[in-house]
Amino acid sequence: MSQTGFLTYLCLFIACCVGYSEAFPSKLSQEAVNDRPVIGVLTQIVSDDVMKPFGRTYIPASYVKYLESGGSRVMPIRLTLTTAEYENIFKKINGLLFIGGAVDLETSDFARVAKIFYRLALMANDAGDFFPIWGTCMGLQLLTVLVAGESLLTDTLAENVALPLNLTTEAHSSRMFEGFPDKLMTALTQEPLTGNFHHFGVTVQNFQENKKLNSFFSLLSTNVAENGAHFISTIEGKRYPFYGVQWHPEVNRFQWDRKKNYPHSARAVQLSSLLAEFFVDEGNMTNTHYQYLITDCVLWNISTPFCQSQSCKNDTVSH
C-alpha cells in the first residue's frame, strides 16, 4: 500500500485503480436503474506531518461515510494520473464530490484534475447523460472558480461556527431541498444546523454581479461572516446537477471533536442524512453505462483506524 502513496486510514484497495480495463459497452436497457452507484472523490495532498507516514494523499473519513450512508460506494481519485486515465475513471463513476480543504483553486493539482472532471461532466450532461457534482466548502469555492473562470473569493471568515441558513425564495423550489419536511425547512432557518469552517468565500454581491455565476447557479442560501460580509452558502445548478454548500453536512454525523462546533442535534443529523441520500440518489440514474463497475477499486473494507490531525483514532469513539 505505502508505495501507492495513499493514506491507509481505511484499508483501501487502491493499487488496482491504476490499472484499467477498457470501458464496457453499455448493454443495459435505457430503463435500467443503477442501484449500485459509485461517487468519485478527489484526494488531497497530505501536508500534516502526523499523517505523512501513512501516505501522500488522503480523504477525510467523514466524507466517505457520508456518501456511503447515502447508499453509494466511494472511488478515491488520485491527483497524479494522466488525462486519459481520468477519462477512463469518469466512465466508471456516477458522480463526483469535491471535498473541503485548503489548496490553490487555480494552480494546484487538485484544481487541474477538478477541471478535467468538470469539463467531462459538462459534456456528459450536455449529451443527455446525467452526472452530478457536489462541492463542500472549498468544493463550493472550486465550483465557482470553474464556472466563473476566475477566483471571486474574498475574506468571509466563519471559522468553527454553526449557523442557521438564510434561505432565499429559490430554496423553496430547489431540487436539493425538495423532499425536506416542513419542520426541517423551518429549523434550517432558525437553528444552527450548518457547521462553518472557512476563511474565504464568495460574497452575495460578487455572486450577483458575475453573470457567469448567477446564470449558472441558483442561490439557495446566504450567511453573514465575522466581518459582516454576506456570503453565498448554498447553490444549485440551474441546468446542471451541480451543487455547492459552503458548510459541512458530513460533520453533523461523522465528526466528534468537542472543540469544534459540529451540529449533532436530531435535526442536524436529519439534514445530513437527507442531503447524502439526495446526492447519491442523483447518481442513481437510468440511462447509464456506469452500471458496469470495477467493484474492488472502491472503498469498502473499513476495518482499520483512520488518522486525523493530532491523533490516530479508532474511528468508532472519539472524546
Question: Which residues are annotated as catalytic?
Answer: 137, 248
> Residues 177, 171: contact at Cβ < 8 Å?
yes
Report if residue 4 touches ligand NAG, rule: CB under 6 A: no
Shortest Å distance, C-beta 156 to ligand NAG: 13
Of residues 18 through 37, those in contact with ligand NAG by CB under 6 A are 33, 35, 37
Instruction: Tell me the per-residue interface mask from 113 to 152 with ligand NAG, x by CB under 6 A, - otherwise.
Output: ----------------------------------------
- In 3D space, the residue among 72, 27, 71, 74 whose CA is nearest the CA of residue 292 turns out to be 27
Is there a contact between 206 and 228 (Cβ–Cβ < 8 Å)? no
Task: Rule CB under 6 A: choose which of 224, 256, 260, 291 binds ligand NAG.
Answer: 224
- By CB under 6 A, tell whether 71 contacts ligand NAG: yes
Q: Which string of DSSP letters, residue by residue, matches 41-86?
A: EE-EE---TTTGGG-SEE--HHHHHHHHHTT-EEEEE-SS--HHHH
Place of cell 441520500: 277
Distance in angstroms (rounded) separating the CA atoms of residues 292 and 26: 8
Between 35 and 178, name the residue whose CB sits nearer to ligand NAG. Answer: 35
- Please give the single-letter amino acid code of residue 171: A
Size of the site for ligand NAG (CB under 6 A): 17
Give, to the nearest 10 degrees, the angle between helix 83-90 and helix 109-126.
50
And the C-alpha cell for 35? 442501484
CB 142, CB 136: distance < 8 Å: no
Please say which residue, 81 or 302, places its beta carbon nearer to ligand NAG. 302
- Taking the least distance from each CB to ligand NAG, the nearer of 71 and 192 is 71
Which member of 222, 252, 270, 272 binds ligand NAG (CB under 6 A)? 222
Q: Which is closer to ligand NAG, CB of 3 or CB of 303?
A: 303
Q: Does 304 sit near ligand NAG (CB under 6 A)? A: yes
Query: Which spans of this chain sit near ligand NAG (rule: CB under 6 A)?
Result: 11, 33, 35, 37, 71, 166, 168, 222, 224, 280-281, 284, 301, 303-305, 314
